[in-house]
Amino acid sequence: MSPALALPAAVTLLTVVLMFATAIAVGRARGVHGVAAPATTGHPAFERAFRVQMNTLEQAAMFLPALWVAALWGDPRWAAGFGAAWLLGRVWYAIAYLGAAERRGGGFVVGLLALVALVVQGGWGIVGAALGG
């Protein structure tokens, strides 16, 4: 196994930590605002925490495969860099959204651009390999 793959692996584990943290935030918001499971609506602060968790899971479903395709078919260091940018964007998104939903845009854009970069890097690597390069 390439030592350079340790970098995207670290980003993967940090993404799992982020997903776990958003789940904890939802549980905490349920308790603080009295929103009993299985309800997904209630106090606005709970609803924001719930949306942060769901949006993070939705984005991670695209991000994690893109990260590993880029790492395996491109340069794992670049993939890890784009992955770290995605992760920082998602943390920014989560913090902003928990405070006020209208402030989430900047983090979303950073995450989106990083995801696009991973897809381009992975796609470029696959096409290059398919063409014999």
Percent of the chain with pLDDT over 90: 97
Q: What's the pLDDT at 1?
A: 79
How does residue 96 score in pLDDT terms, banded at 50, 70 and 90? very high
Q: What's the pLDDT at 63?
A: 98
- Segment 5-27 mean pLDDT: 98
**Cβ(79)–Cβ(70) under 8 Å?**
yes
- Mind listing the domains of the chain with CATH numbers? 3-130 (1.20.120.550)
pLDDT at 95 over 90: yes
Q: Classify residue 72 by burial, with Cβ atoms within 10 Å: 0-12, 13-18, 19+.
A: middle
The whole-model pTM stands at 0.95
DSSP character for 5?
Answer: G
Instruction: Count CB neighbours of 124 within 10 A.
Output: 14
Percent of the chain with pLDDT over 70: 99
Q: What's the pLDDT at 133?
A: 67
Q: What's the pLDDT at 2?
A: 87
